[in-house]
Amino acid sequence: MTTVLIKNVTIIDPESPFHNQKVDLKIQDGKFIEIGNNLSKDNDTTEINIPDLHASQGWFDTSVSFGEPGYEDRETIANGLKTAALSGFTGVALQPNSHPVIDNQALVKFVLDKAQDQATSLYPIGSLTINSEGTDLAELYDMKNAGAIAFGDYQKAIQNANVQKIALQYVQDFDSLVISFCQDNSVKGKGIVHEGVTSTKLGLKGIPALAEALHVARNLYLLEYTGGKMHIPTISTQESVQLIKEAKAKGLNISCSVAVHNLIHNDMVLDNFDSRYKVLPPLRDEATRKVLIEAVLDGTIDCITSDHNPLDIEHKKLEFDLAKDGTIGLESAFGALLSILPLEVVISKLTAGKKVFGLSQHTINTDNKAEISLFTTVENWNFEKENILSKSKNSAFLGQKMKGRSIGIYNNGKPEINFSI
């Protein structure tokens, strides 16, 4: 493998002896072989020297959708992983919402085979139930052995409490994690946006915060009864924050994430009925957005996800109530977050998912595996269509003010760098 020399890079890694220092990183055969100042290079060395360059441990996104197999028109695994790499992510957890749904070991192996030889590592999430229908548990143990890192039905809450209970009990036999999207469908009804002033003004059916909180409370009671590990993805309400905070104080093995768009936007962006902002859970009011940010800062929310969900124009550019829920978010995640949160908090929340999902973490130090994200921190810019790397263009961040940029990554023995920035 080619030697890579990254010059004048500021390290953001509290676990590294080089934290907050500007150094050179020399990488060979996928490992740091030398870290210091004024490191020399030979003719076989690839040099990376970019102003204001920073490096951290590799970022991990706990929720991405790529479409393949079945929805390759939305996104392929190959292009999705390249997009993730240039967006700064060395690893992504792939949701099972393809066609067919990833609910057996053959499909886990299929997506892992498709992800070979990429700089960004792919970690499949297996569907918790067959075809994500919420009725019968899928082949969880077989999928675990094939490489699945956790089990959950993407954006589908298990309405049957006994199925949820049995899942939490069963996966303890092989030390796995249940992902529990929380939404009481009977309370949600036909709601499509947050229930509040904006939904009333626009005449759109609302989703009460209660629909999420009720399910969070139920699932936490089940977790307390069964033991095991549970991750609640993309929480969006003040009540959920409080319930999870109390569960952690009790000592339950519970973690949670929030989506970037729920930290950046509130439901007032819906005034023009733009379906790019139709997401699930929905964008909430400003008071809730501020509570979510506070929960990130105080540690109640463990990690932040892009919840990247590419959708084709036929399913997204429709009347608001007919459009599918979802936005792409990999490309915009870092720049959007740095515009509202301190740098070290952003890095902490983009790397914390590895611990939640039981994956190896690699400190920036000599002789360690080189798995790093590269980024700048000072540039202010607006996210536009030409910044989208995904096949689908359904971004809720077009026109959004950004701070700093992802430059790329080094992982799996290779750099993936956007030198055009």
Q: Indicate which residues carry an active-site annotation.
A: 307
Q: Which long-range contacts (CB under 8 A, 24 or more apart) does 142-147 make?
A: 142/104, 142/105, 143/102, 143/103, 143/104, 143/105, 143/108, 144/174, 144/176, 145/105, 146/105, 146/106, 146/108, 146/109, 146/112, 147/108, 147/109, 147/112, 147/123
- The crossing angle, in degrees rounded to 10, of helices 330-338 and 343-351 is 140
Q: Find the Cα–Cα–Cα–Cα dihedral 18, 19, 21, 23, rounded to 10°.
A: 50
Q: Which residues pair with 178 in a beta bridge?
A: 151, 230
E strand or H helix at 372: strand 372-382
DSSP string for 294-339: HHHHTTSS-EEE--B----HHHHSS-TTTSPS-BB-HHHHHHHHHT
The answer to whether 191 and 207 have CB atoms below 8 angstroms apart is yes
Tell how strand 54-57 and strand 372-382 pair up: antiparallel
Q: What angle do CA 157, 161, 166 make, to 5 degrees?
A: 105
